[in-house]
Amino acid sequence: MPGNRDDEILHQTQRYWIAEAIRYTHRDAIHDVFTDELVEWPQFPCVERLLPQKTMHYSLGPILENEGTIDGTYNVIDKVFTDQLGYDPSSDFNDILHLVFGDQKTISLIRAVQKERRGSTLSYDKHDWILPIPGLFHWRTNYMDMIHDLYSGLESASIGCTLHHNKNFMAASRAIKVHFITR
């Protein structure tokens, strides 16, 4: 098999998320086609599964910081991990990894913080104990946007495989026309 040994895992993951985005947006059609169960539906690849264990949940208080900036991201990280969770920056971050979920901007800002601080001596200051992960909702939304962008075509599309062609020439649109009554 040519290429990287992880290529098949990558392709299985992509197929799964594309299929999930389609199922999310066209639930009734998928149900009609696959009737009772999704027999040939793409599955998320299983690489190394961890044993099930109870997950600890911590409810956090409000954080009044501008998390849309790098400085705000530093402040949010400090408030969450040192102020609210009570970790000691000098010792509690040497052999630990925290998964931090967020949208694309949050992930980008955390990576910028890590890049800025990679020369630090303390593990806490390096921020390499944070693994930023895009939230699954955001993955699904991004795949739906990608599918829409790929298959939309131009507004005046005459090519039969685009969404705009279906809308314009086949009258295949889910838009509901509402007639307003003016008084």
Residues with pLDDT less than 70, the chain: 1-6, 35-39, 153-183
In the prediction, which pLDDT does 179 show? 55
In the prediction, which pLDDT does 19 show? 84
In the prediction, which pLDDT does 44 show? 87
Share of the chain above pLDDT 70, in %: 77
Helices (H) and strands (E) counted in the chain, each on its own, are 7, 2
Q: pLDDT tens, 97-149?
A: 998 888 889 999 999 999 999 999 988 999 999 999 887 777 777 777 887 77
Question: 73, exposed or middle or buried, with CB in 10 Å at 0-12, 13-18, 19+?
Answer: buried
Can you tell me the distance from the alpha carbon of 83 to that of 76, in angstroms, rounded to the nearest whole number? 10
Could you state, in order of their start, the residue ranges of all structural domains in the chain? 7-47, 70-134, 138-173
Q: What is the dihedral of CA 74, 123, 53, 44, to 10 degrees?
A: 70
In the prediction, which pLDDT does 1 show? 44
User: Residue 179, Cα to own-chain centre: how many angstroms?
Assistant: 38
